[in-house]
Structure 1
Amino acid sequence: MKKVLLSVACLATVTAFAQEKDSLKIKNVDEVVLTASRKKESIKEIPSSVTIVGEKQVQSQLTVNSDITSILQYTVPSLATSSGQTSNTGQTLRGRQVLVLIDGIPQSTPLRNGARDLRSIDPSVIERIEVIKGASSIYGNGADGGIINYITRKSNSDKKISGISQVGITGQPYGGTLGFRASQLFSGQITKKFDYVASLAYERTGYMKDADGVYLSPTYSPAKMDNYNGMLKLGYNFNENQRIEASYIGYASRSDLNLGLRTGKYGISPTIGEGEGKNLETTPQGTPRNHNIKVSYDNKNIWKGTSLNVNLYMQDFRTVYGYSDTFFGGGQSNVISKKYGARANFDTQLWSAKNSQAEIIYGVDVLNDETVQKLEDGRYWTPDMDMTNIAPFMLVKIDLLKKITIKGGLRYENMKVNVGDFNTLSSIKNDGTFTQSIFVKGGDLEYNALVGNIGVRYNINPTINLFGSFSQAYSINELGRILRTSTSDTITNLETKPIIVNNYELGATGQIAKWINYEVTSYVSTSKLGATFIQSPDRALTIQRAPEVVYGVEGFLHFNPTKWINFGGSYSWIEGITSPKDDGDYSTKINNSRISAPKVLAYVQVKPIEKLSVGLDMLHAFGQDRFDPNVKTGLYVYGEGEVPEYTVFNFKSSYEVNNNWKVSLGIENVFNKMYQPAIAWWAARDADFTNSLGMRGTFMVEYKF
Structure 2
Amino acid sequence: MSSFRLRPVSLTLSLALASLGALANDSELETIVVTGSRTPTRISDLPRSAWVVSSEEIIEQARAGVPLKELLGQLVPSLDVGPQGRTNFGQNLRGRSVLVMIDGVSLNSSRGVSRQFDSIDPYNIERIEVLSGASAMYGGGATGGVVNIVTKRGSKGLQFSTELGLRSGFETSEDHDWHIGQSLSGGNTWVKGRLGFAYQRNSAAFDASGKQVTPDITQTDLQYNRAVDVLGTLDFSLPAAQSLKLTAQYYDSGFDGDKALYLGPNLAGALGGRPELLQVRSGFQSDIEPRTRRTLAMFDYHLPQVLGGQDVYLQGSARSEKLDFYPFPGTYRVAGVSASPVTVPYYSTSRQNTDVQALKAALVKQIGDFKLSYGIDLDQEAFAASQVLFDAAQGFATGGMTLKRSGEVGRYPGFEVRGRSLFMQADWRLNEQWQLSGGLRHQRMDVSVDDFVASQQQVLIAAGIGKSAAAIPGGENRYSVTLANIGASYRLNARNQLYMNYSEGFDLPDPAKYYGQGSYSLNGGRNGNWVLNRGVSVAGSPLAGIKTRQLETGWRGSVGGFSSQLAAFHAWSDTNIQFVTSTLAINVIDQDTRNYGIEGELGYRFNEQLKLGGSLLAIKSEEKKSGNWQNQAVTAASPSKATAYAAWSQGALNLRLQTVRNFSLSDPSGARLKAYSLTDLLGSYTLPQGTLSFGIQNLQDRQYATVWGQRAKVFYGSLVAPATVDFQGRGRTFSMAYSLDY
One-letter amino acid matched to 1:152: T
Question: 2:698 & 2:16 partners in 1: Cα distance?
Answer: 27
Distance 1:14 1:292, change over 3 A: farther
Q: Which residue of 2 aligns with 1:652?
A: 682
Contact 2:515 2:537 in 1 (8 A): no
Question: 1:390 & 1:216 partners in 2: Cα distance?
Answer: 45
Question: 1:271 & 1:495 partners in 2: Cα distance?
Answer: 45
1:362-401 matches, cutoff 5 A: 362-376=374-388, 377-401=407-431
Q: Which residue of 2 aligns with 1:179?
A: 177
Q: Which residue of 2 aligns with 1:637?
A: none
Distance 1:397 1:489, change over 3 A: closer
Return the offset for 1:5. 9.8
SS at structure 2 position matched to 1:124: helix
The question of 1:579 aligning with 2:624 is answered yes
Q: Which residue of 1 aligns with 2:129?
A: 130
Question: 2:469 & 2:700 partners in 1: Cα distance?
Answer: 51
Q: Which moved more, 1:692-701 or 1:675-684?
A: 675-684
Distance 1:209 1:437, change over 3 A: farther
The question of 1:209 aligning with 2:206 is answered yes
Return the offset for 1:6. 5.2
Q: 1:415 aligns with which of 437, 445, 454?
A: 445
Q: 1:299 aligns with which of 293, 303, 310?
A: 303
One-letter amino acid matched to 1:524: H
Per-residue Cα deviation, 1:438-484 (whole angstroms, up to 9, x for no partner): 51111111001111111111111145411111111122121211114
Q: Which residue of 1 aligns with 2:483?
A: 451
Contact 2:6 2:619 in 1 (8 A): no
One-letter amino acid matched to 2:572: T
One-letter amino acid matched to 2:119: S
1:8-407 matches, cutoff 5 A: 8-9=9-10, 29-34=30-35, 36-109=36-109, 111-155=110-154, 157-159=155-157, 161-175=158-172, 176-189=174-187, 191-219=188-216, 220-239=220-239, 241-257=241-257, 258-261=259-262, 273-276=279-282, 278-279=284-285, 281-287=286-292, 289-326=293-330, 329-349=346-366, 351-352=367-368, 357-376=369-388, 377-407=407-437
Q: Which residue of 2 aligns with 1:501?
A: 548
SS at structure 1 position matched to 2:673: coil
Q: TM-score w.r.t. structure 2 length?
A: 0.84
SS at structure 2 position matched to 1:163: strand
Return the offset for 1:334. 2.0
Q: Which residue of 1 aligns with 2:642?
A: 600
Contact 1:5 1:524 in 2 (8 A): no
Q: Which runs of 4+ in 1 moved over 6 A?
A: 13-16, 268-272, 434-437
Contact 1:173 1:695 in 2 (8 A): no
Contact 2:632 2:667 in 1 (8 A): no
Distance 1:396 1:412, change over 3 A: same
Question: 1:382 & 1:580 partners in 2: Cα distance?
Answer: 31
Return the offset for 1:578. 1.8
Q: 1:612 aligns with which of 653, 657, 669?
A: 653
Distance 1:27 1:589, change over 3 A: farther
Question: 1:315 & 1:409 partners in 2: Cα distance?
Answer: 28
Question: 2:16 & 2:67 partners in 1: Cα distance?
Answer: 29
Distance 1:305 1:119, change over 3 A: same
Return the offset for 1:390. 0.8
Question: 1:218 & 1:69 partners in 2: Cα distance?
Answer: 18
Contact 2:99 2:106 in 1 (8 A): yes
Distance 1:5 1:560, change over 3 A: closer
Question: 1:309 & 1:234 partners in 2: Cα distance?
Answer: 17
Per-residue Cα deviation, 1:56-75 (whole angstroms, up to 9, x for no partner): 11111102335211111111
Question: 1:602 & 1:260 partners in 2: Cα distance?
Answer: 36
The question of 1:562 aligning with 2:607 is answered yes
Question: 1:272 & 1:87 partners in 2: Cα distance?
Answer: 22
The question of 1:698 aligning with 2:735 is answered yes
Q: Which residue of 1 aligns with 2:597?
A: 552
One-letter amino acid matched to 1:573: A
Q: Which moved more, 1:326-335 or 1:174-183?
A: 326-335
SS at structure 2 position matched to 1:587: strand
Q: Which moved more, 1:61-70 or 1:305-314?
A: 61-70
Return the offset for 1:273. 4.4
Q: Which residue of 1 aligns with 2:527?
A: none
Question: 2:663 & 2:45 partners in 1: Cα distance?
Answer: 34
Contact 1:532 1:590 in 2 (8 A): no
Distance 1:327 1:249, change over 3 A: farther
Per-residue Cα deviation, 1:525-549 (whole angstroms, up to 9, x for no partner): 11121224354xx575543422211
SS at structure 1 position matched to 2:710: helix
- Aligned-pair RMSD on alpha carbons? 2.7
Distance 1:13 1:599, change over 3 A: farther
Show structure 2 runs of 5+ residues with no match: 18-26, 264-268, 333-345, 389-406, 519-533
Distance 1:526 1:193, change over 3 A: same
Per-residue Cα deviation, 1:30-70 (whole angstroms, up to 9, x for no partner): 11111x11111111111001111111111111023352111
SS at structure 1 position matched to 2:9: helix
Give percent identity, aligned residues only. Answer: 20
Question: 1:14 & 1:174 partners in 2: Cα distance?
Answer: 54
Contact 1:86 1:286 in 2 (8 A): no
Return the offset for 1:8. 2.3
Return the offset for 1:264. 8.3
Task: Please tell me whether Structure 1 or Structure 2 has the larger radius of gyration of its CA atoms.
Answer: 2
Per-residue Cα deviation, 1:643-676 (whole angstroms, up to 9, x for no partner): 2221111111101113x41110111112211111
Distance 1:605 1:270, change over 3 A: farther
One-letter amino acid matched to 1:418: S
Q: TM-score w.r.t. structure 1 length?
A: 0.88
Question: 2:331 & 2:510 partners in 1: Cα distance?
Answer: 19
Return the offset for 1:626. 3.6
Distance 1:28 1:507, change over 3 A: closer
One-letter amino acid matched to 2:213: L
The question of 1:516 aligning with 2:528 is answered no
Question: 1:178 & 1:64 partners in 2: Cα distance?
Answer: 14
In the comparison of the two structures, how many residue pairs are matched? 656
Q: 1:471 aligns with which of 503, 512, 531?
A: 503
SS at structure 1 position matched to 2:666: coil
